[in-house]
Structure 1
Amino acid sequence: MVWTQKDTQSTLAGDRIIGRVSSGVPGPTVVFFGGIHGNEPAGVRALEKVFADFESGEATCEKGAAIGIRGNLPALGRQERYLQHDLNRLWNPARIERILATPESRRSPEEKELALLHDLLLHILEEETAPFYFIDLHTTSSQTLPFITINDSMINRKFSGLFPVPVILGIEEYLEGPLLSYINQLGYIALGFESGQHQDPAAITQAEDFIWLTLYFSGATPSLAGFRQRYQRLQKAALCDHYFYEVFYRHELSNGHGFRMEEGYRSFQRVPRGARVATQKGEPLELQKPGILFMPLYQQQGEEGFFLIRQTPRWALGLSARMRKWKFHRSLSLLPGVKWADERQDRLVVDLRVARFMSKPFFHLLGYRSRQRDATHLVLQNREHRARNGDYAGTPWYSRN
């Protein structure tokens, strides 16, 4: 069973706010986005079901508040990823500033959506109470296990580690302007959850389970009925894969790329070196190195043909956590060829002509991810510097992990 455009187009692009419930008791504010990509309706459907349960009284928000938001309304109405720009690639601070300075009549459909969502985000941060949790619900064009993507900060790691699904680190190095990266720069927990393949009904169920688990772990619904069932169902869908992975390769696509993925590939599939995975401009495309295939593209719109990931050893995660706790990064500017980009000390500039001994994995341990590179320099951004750890320090999950 799959959905058709007729089934979804008339209802998905409804009001921006799917629902808002408030307990009246101090607690977390949990914000969910669905449909940032218009051809990914599962998150919207799941949120509609969750907030219908709140409205009917079948479920109760016990602490704080929960908010469900539709993303790209015009694209949802047409069941397309986007109309002119990918809304999930516009959230660069400089680009946001340019969009907001542009008269509305000259903005693209997605730029108009960004301006509205940006205003809504600022309103939520001003009117609601901390701690804040932001969840962006997505699906993929290929078959996949349900999984989480995060920017690499310790609060993101700790919270995402509660869920029984794989967690992907490092994708922010390869994508420019995702919504969650923007929110992370503000210091808040922000997770992406990919619940399955676009038109698979199981993607709705898995998104719904993830929403309820998020509300439970955040403390909004601490006495959630059916918690164990939802946890085990999501665990089963993920084939008990609860590992952390890291992106190490992105196959970038340009306009007129002529890319076509070979049929039958799925996310988390191990692929050997030399395997033919696609054709591009009529030529076979073979992997130059082995890896675990991640998000192979089976749709027309998209900027990435596929990614490759590898499992992150638990010892590396532990070492990374200790080095960040000890604030080891403060001594990095003493190394030759390494200096702070500015007085905020959240970005490093590495002169590759001098610091040839440095490697990206070393910086990854400390929470630095590359954001820009030219022939001689690497600029690395640190997520820990802006993380609002104090907002989450009193939560049970923060002290337990």
Structure 2
Amino acid sequence: MNTKNSEKFNAERLTRVIGEYPTDGMYSRPGPFLLASAGIHGNEPSGILALRRVFEKLITNKPFLKGKLIGVTGNMAALKQGVRLIDKDLNRVCTPEFADRLIAGEIAGFQEGSEFHDLATIVESLENNKKQEEFLFMDLHTTSSMTPPYISVNRKKENFDFAKKMPLPVVKGIEKFIPGHFDHFLTLKGHTGFTMEAGQHDDPKSVDFHEAAIWVVLVDNGMLDKSVIDYSYYYNLLKDSSPTQDNFEVTYRLNLEEGSEFVMEAGFENFSEVKKGQLLAKLDGENILADSDSRVFLPLYQKQGSDGFFIVMPAD
């Protein structure tokens, strides 16, 4: 994988559990679990690098933490090859029903099913932990196009309220169009959290933004005292990264069938404003035009993927 991040990312170090803190009761106080998942797509190592930074600082400085931070790796096989997926998109197969069957002993029959089995087993273990007071999560991603950081969240009120604590734009409602993502799985299991997209896959700043988000979530949810870190630095790093802190809702998704020829018009970023009738992409040689004045979301600039782009509109 020939990217800037890959100079630092060592796939040989990969483990399913990136880290846990605290590992004993000496620096622990009762509180929630925060599950931070990263690398659900194998071409997105940024969150793993950020979690390694955070755990290194926690282990070195040994602050008290209310609850526990757990970092987990998603698609290990794809990460080792530097590709988005091996057989299927892991972020489309994560459902409670499939998890129940896998945990009961069903053999998935494809690589991402095996990856999800391991993740679902970890989630079940945390759910069965008697010390659990609350189960929070953040799923760390990057995108194929240049983008300011933002939060994607399911429409559940608790998730939206949790996400709005972050000084970033929030996009809700994507689960209507792509069920089966890991965030949706955790939400359906009754837990509270969001997905964070930190920037473009190869941009080193994505790692900085992911790290900042982890620290801000720990502090804003009462798990870590803000005096332990330079909280203002991390908070302002996120706040200053985006031209807007507005909220949006997904209203449209362009689905790509297997084998289709899709070319996104150059120059679009997340939240790029478009006018009705503007050329957005070409699909199997046909022009795809904007239906209305709106904003483009997650434009696809990579070969793998079934989401051509989304359209978002302002939301309360």
Query: TM-score, normalised to structure 2's length?
Result: 0.92
Cα distance between partner residues in 2 of 1:307 and 1:82: 21
Partner of 2:235: 231
2:122 to 120, 136, 140: 120
- Measure how far apart 1:222 and its partner are: 2.2
Q: Percent identity?
A: 32
Residue identity in the other structure for 2:9: T
User: Hey, what does 1:24 align to over in structure 2?
Assistant: 28
Q: 1:220 aligns with which of 200, 214, 223?
A: 223
Structure 2 counterpart of 1:50, from 41, 51, 54 = 54
Alpha-carbon distance, 1:97 to partner: 4.1
> Where does residue 275 of structure 1 map in the other structure?
278
Whole-angstrom distance in 2 between the partners of 1:93 and 1:27: 25
Larger radius of gyration: 1
For residue 108 of structure 1, the aligned residue among 110, 131, 139 is: 110
CA distance in 2, matches of 1:176, 1:196: 22
1:177 aligned to 2:180?
yes
The one-letter amino acid paired with 1:244 is: N
For residues 117-175 of structure 1, the C-alpha deviation after alignment (integer angstroms, 9 at most, x for no partner) is: 11111001112512111110000101111111111122112211111100011111000
Aligned equivalent of 2:167: 164
**What amino acid is aligned across from residue 21 of structure 2 in structure 1?**
V
- Counting only pairs closer than 5 Å after superposition, residues 2-401 of structure 1 correspond to structure 2 as 2-3=3-4, 5=6, 8=9, 10-11=11-12, 14-22=14-22, 23-57=27-61, 60-100=63-103, 103-104=106-107, 107-127=109-129, 128-223=131-226, 224-239=228-243, 241-312=244-315, 317=316
Asked if the contact 2:5/2:204 (under 8 Å) is kept, the reply is no
Task: Please state how far the C-alpha of 1:9 moved relative to its aligned partner.
Answer: 5.2
| Conserved 8 A contact 1:90-1:96 | no
Q: What CA RMSD, in Å, does the superposition of the two structures yield over aligned residues?
A: 1.8
- Give SS of 1:246's match: strand
Distance 1:7 1:231 in 2: 25
| Alignment match, 1:324 | none
Q: CA separation in 1, counterparts of 2:241 and 2:38? A: 20
> Does the aligned pair in 2 maintain the 1:148–1:167 contact within 8 Å?
yes
Report 1 or 2 for greater relative contact order, CA contacts < 8 Å, sequence distance ≥ 6: 2
Distance 2:295 2:159 in 1: 23
Q: Specify whether residues 113 and 230 from structure 1 end up closer, same or farther in structure 2 by C-alpha distance, changes over 3 A only.
A: same
Which moved further from structure 2: 122-131 or 245-254?
122-131
Q: Counterpart of 1:115 in structure 2: which amino acid?
A: H
Relative distance call for 1:249 and 1:35 in structure 2 (3 A) is: same
Structure 2, gaps ≥5 residues long? none
| Distance change in 2, residues 1:85/1:102 (3 Å) | farther
User: Which string of whole-angstrom CA distances, capped at 9 and with x for unpartnered residues, describes residues 52-86 of structure 1?
Assistant: 111222x5242111111111110111111110011
- In the alignment, the residues of structure 2 paired with residue 217 and residue 141 of structure 1 have an alpha-carbon distance, to the nearest angstrom, of 29
Q: Distance in 1 between matches of 2:207 and 2:289?
A: 34
Q: Is the 8 A contact 1:253 1:305 kept in 2?
A: yes
Query: 1: CA distance between counterparts of 2:134 and 2:101?
Result: 30
Deviation at 1:203, TM superposition (A): 0.3
Q: CA deviation at 1:90?
A: 0.8
1:273-313 per-position Cα deviation (integer Å, ceiling 9, x unaligned):
1111111112322222221010100111111100000111x
Provide the rounded CA distance (Å) in 2 between the counterparts of 1:169 and 1:235: 19
Change (3 A) 1:113 1:61: farther
Contact 1:18 1:47 in 2 (8 A): yes
1:179 to partner: Cα distance: 1.1
Runs of 4 or more off by more than 6 Å in structure 1? Answer: none
Deviation at 1:34, TM superposition (A): 0.5
- Structure 1 residue runs of 5 or longer lacking an equivalent are 318-401
Which piece of structure 1 moves more, 151-160 or 44-53?
Answer: 151-160
Shift of 1:50: 0.4
Q: 2 CA distance for matches of 1:130 and 1:83? A: 36
What is the identity, as a one-letter code, of the residue corresponding to 2:119? L
